[in-house]
Structure formats: structure tokens, C-alpha cells
Amino acid sequence: MNEGIDENKRNFLKLMVTASIVAGAGLSLGVVVRALAPPALGISSFPNLQLVDSSGSPILASNLAVNNPSAMQFNYPLQSTPNNIVNLGDASGNPINIPATKVTIPADGTTYESYAGVGKYGSIVAFSGICQHLGCIFPELRFYPNGVESITLQGKTYTGVFHCLCHGSTYDPTAGAAVLTGPTTHPLPMVKLVWDSTTDELYVSNMVGPTIYGRASDLTGESPIPGTTTEVTNLGNPFTI
């Protein structure tokens, strides 16, 4: 007996039975396939979420230390999508105002406008915590606060930057996380922060820049963040852990 032929017959009969059930129910095969397929992960638009701590209390802009080397991270716009929030300052620890600026994507020469900093001094900004080169995250991708930590690359010293220890990519957070050194050819995507001056509370509402590394789009590939808040977590000082 030819087992290969018998198996083909069995599969054919199963298909015919399924098709007859579908036809009897007045449904197309496409409808059935779509009903059985797992739902796609993602959302249709950027959510408006409030930044909170582990207890659910609002993060206050005035409580974010200037030039803090510790990684303060939150997920946005989806779960498992880390971002760093930093309060930028000069070498003396004074907050510095961060204006919106034109950012160039070296990969193709296109440009976009970054978001201005928020808070009392316009010094608080947030960027993707995933390196745009090959997707490294904290602690490899870390913030080197101005006047606190520095790194020397090709004979030039950088401070007040995001730098990835995996392969050497460096980004300037005072200029929309523009690329300072490769091998990356894309800036870090920037998160839009919204500051409520009456309550000092912070919200996130959008992103700008290249697509988050490893994603087909910023809004797909992970589950939505439930509720109306996203938690900010202190991952610690990478220079001491």
C-alpha cells in the first residue's frame, strides 16, 4: 500500500469536509481563516499617557534630577518599548533649554524637526532606549551626563551624550539625538513630552524621527500599554553597577 497516496487522500477529504461546513454556514473560507488567525499586536494611533512611578503617583518634572546618570525608563508607545527620560544640564549642573531643531537622518539625508524640551527650564527630553544600529539597550546604551561622565572616541571627548558600548554609536540629546558617531545611520526616535505647568506632571503623546529599531512601524509588534499611564523605572547608574 502506498502510504504517501493514502495520506494525500486523507488530507483532501479533510479539506472537502471543511469546505462543505463553511459553505453550509454561508461563510467564505477567508472569513474563517481571519477568525482563526491570532489578532495583530499594536495600536492605531499614539496614546496619551501620564508618567507615573511604581506606586502610581505622578512623576513631577521638578523631581527629575539634572544630569542624572541613572537610567530613568518608561515604555511607549507599546509594551517592551523602552525610552529614556533625561533632564539635561551644563557642566555646572544648571538645566539647559532645549529648543526644537532640524535633525538629519544620515541614511537617506531626510530631515525632521525634533521636539523642544519641557519643564520649567525646557530641559527635559525623552528618546528611544533602543540603539538604532543593531538594537542594543541599557546598560550598553547609556547617558553620559555633562560634567559627570565622558567618553573619548577617535581622539575626541564627548559628554552630555547617549553612547552605545556595543559598537560605538553616539547621539546628541541636545539636538534631537542626532548622530554624532556611527556606525548608526539613524538618530534615536524622540518621544513627545507634555508638561502641565499647573501640576508639574508629565505626559507622553507622540513620537518623531525614524522608526524604532526592529519594528515595521512604531505602533505594531508589541501589545498595547493598558490604562492611561506608563511607569517610569530607575534602572540604576550604569557606571556603578
Question: What is the C-alpha to C-alpha distance for residues 193 and 88, in angstroms, rounded to an integer?
Answer: 14
Q: Is residue 12 part of a domain?
A: yes
- Give the pLDDT confidence score for residue 3 in this predicted structure: 45
58 is written with which cell numbers?
505622578
Which residues, including other chains, have CB under 8 Å from residue 140's CB and lie 6 or more apart?
131, 164, 165, 166
Average pLDDT of the residues of the chain = 89
Regarding whether 12 and 119 lie in a shared domain, the answer is no
Regarding whether 123 and 16 lie in a shared domain, the answer is no
- Domain assignment of residue 18, given as a range: 3-36
Regarding whether 92 and 15 lie in a shared domain, the answer is no
Q: pTM for this one? A: 0.84
Q: Is residue 221 part of a domain?
A: yes
Q: Is residue 42 part of a domain?
A: no
Question: What is the C-alpha to C-alpha distance for residues 58 and 202, in angstroms, rounded to an integer?
Answer: 8
- Where the chain has pLDDT below 50, the residues are 1-5, 12, 15, 22, 29, 31-37
Regarding whether 178 and 87 lie in a shared domain, the answer is yes
Q: Is residue 174 part of a domain?
A: yes
Q: Is residue 240 part of a domain?
A: no
- The per-residue pLDDT for range 43-102, each reduced to its tens digit, is 999 999 999 999 999 999 999 999 999 999 999 999 999 999 999 999 999 999 999 999
Q: What is the CATH number of the domain that holds 141?
A: 2.102.10.10
Regarding whether 87 and 24 lie in a shared domain, the answer is no
- Give the pLDDT confidence score for residue 155 in this predicted structure: 86
Q: Is residue 239 part of a domain?
A: no
- Give the pLDDT confidence score for residue 5 in this predicted structure: 45
Regarding whether 56 and 23 lie in a shared domain, the answer is no
Q: Is residue 206 part of a domain?
A: yes
Regarding whether 177 and 107 lie in a shared domain, the answer is yes
Query: What is the count of structural domains for the chain?
Result: 2
**3-state SS of 33-96?**
HHHHCCCCCECCCCCCEEEECCCCCECEHHHCCECCCCCEEEECCECCCEEEEEECECCCCCEC
- Give the pLDDT confidence score for residue 115 in this predicted structure: 99
Regarding whether 65 and 31 lie in a shared domain, the answer is no
Question: What is the C-alpha to C-alpha distance for residues 141 and 161, in angstroms, rounded to an integer?
Answer: 10
Q: Could you give the angle at the alpha carbon of 86 between the alpha carbons of 81 and 89, nearest 5°?
A: 160
- Give the pLDDT confidence score for residue 6 in this predicted structure: 54
- Give the pLDDT confidence score for residue 35 in this predicted structure: 44
- Give the pLDDT confidence score for residue 36 in this predicted structure: 44
Using DSSP's 3-state secondary structure scheme, residue 14 falls into: helix
Regarding whether 194 and 158 lie in a shared domain, the answer is yes
> Environment class of residue 39 by beta-carbon count within 10 Å: exposed (0-12), middle (13-18) or buried (19+)?
exposed
Question: What is the C-alpha to C-alpha distance for residues 239 and 241, in angstroms, rounded to an integer?
Answer: 6
Regarding whether 184 and 82 lie in a shared domain, the answer is yes
Q: Sheet containing 141-144: which strands, arranged edge to edge?
A: 141-144, 161-164, 170-172, 178-181
Question: What is the C-alpha to C-alpha distance for residues 136 and 115, in angstroms, rounded to an integer?
Answer: 24
User: Residue 5, Cβ neighbours under 10 Å: how many?
Assistant: 9
Regarding whether 152 and 89 lie in a shared domain, the answer is yes
